[in-house]
Structure 1
Amino acid sequence: MSVYIIAQLKFTRRELYDRYQSRFMGVFSKFKGKLLVADAHPVVLEGEWPRDKVVIMEFPDDAAAKEFQNSPEYQQISVDRKAGADAVVLTVRGLP
């Protein structure tokens, strides 16, 4: 069953986030994921959304998502993401 990582970001230090973003695909491409969405201009249809960007990644299963998230390569670049953006990050399961 597919697993998705959804990140909702509010930039706090854009230059650090941009450095993270410039290295992201080089790391991400080594794993079994697929980048589905990376939208810095989402349209809010209902409610309030005090964020700047949405990212959605798809993985074949929970183990693949964890492998990416916990990898030394991702942990190294994620320091800049954490310093450059306030994030809410979720893992959700797809439908069977």
Structure 2
Amino acid sequence: MAAYIIVDISITDPQEYEEYKKLTPATIAEYDGKFIVRGGHTETLEGDWQPERVVVLEFPTVERAKAWWSSANYTKAKVIRQRAANTQMIVVDGV
């Protein structure tokens, strides 16, 4: 069953975050993942959620998604993201 990582990112260092954006796609592809949403325009329809940047990744399974997130190959990019942004991230099963 497909799984999705949903991310709400508030960028604090745009220049450093650009480096993260360069490093990440190849690491996602290594785990059979792909971008579904990558920072497009958002519009709040209900509630008070005002995200700065939303990213949605699709992986074949939750296990593959979690393997990517904890992989050595993603570690360098993850450290950069954690310095350059405040992040809320979840993984959820698809249907």
Q: Give the TM-score taking structure 2 as reference length.
A: 0.90
Residue 41 of structure 1, CA deviation:
2.4
8 Å CA contact retained: 2:44, 2:50: no
8 Å CA contact retained: 2:42, 2:51: no
Measure, in 1, the Cα distance between the counterparts of 2:86 and 2:40: 14
Measure, in 2, the Cα distance between the counterparts of 1:81 and 1:5: 15
Letter in 2 for 1:15: Q
Aligned match of 1:48: 48
Moved more, 56-65 or 36-45: 36-45
User: For each residue in 1:72-93, what CA deviation from the matched residue of structure 2 results, as whole angstroms up to 9, or x when unmatched?
Assistant: 0101111111111101000111
Residue 47 of structure 1, CA deviation:
2.5
Letter in 1 for 2:22: S
Aligned match of 1:17: 17
Letter in 2 for 1:23: L
Residue 49 of structure 1, CA deviation:
2.5
Partner secondary structure for residue 7 of structure 1: strand
Residue 45 of structure 1, CA deviation:
1.7
Q: Give the TM-score taking structure 1 as reference length.
A: 0.89
CA RMSD of aligned residues (A): 1.3
Identical-residue share of aligned pairs (%): 31
Structure 1 residues without counterparts, runs of 5 or longer: none
User: For each residue in 1:28-83, what CA deviation from the matched residue of structure 2 results, as whole angstroms up to 9, or x when unmatched?
Assistant: 22221121111242112222234311000111111111111111010111111111
Q: How does 1:39-78 map to 2 (within 5 A)?
A: 39-78=39-78
The number of equivalent residue pairs is 95
Measure, in 2, the Cα distance between the counterparts of 1:40 and 1:75: 25
Structure 2 residues without counterparts, runs of 5 or longer: none
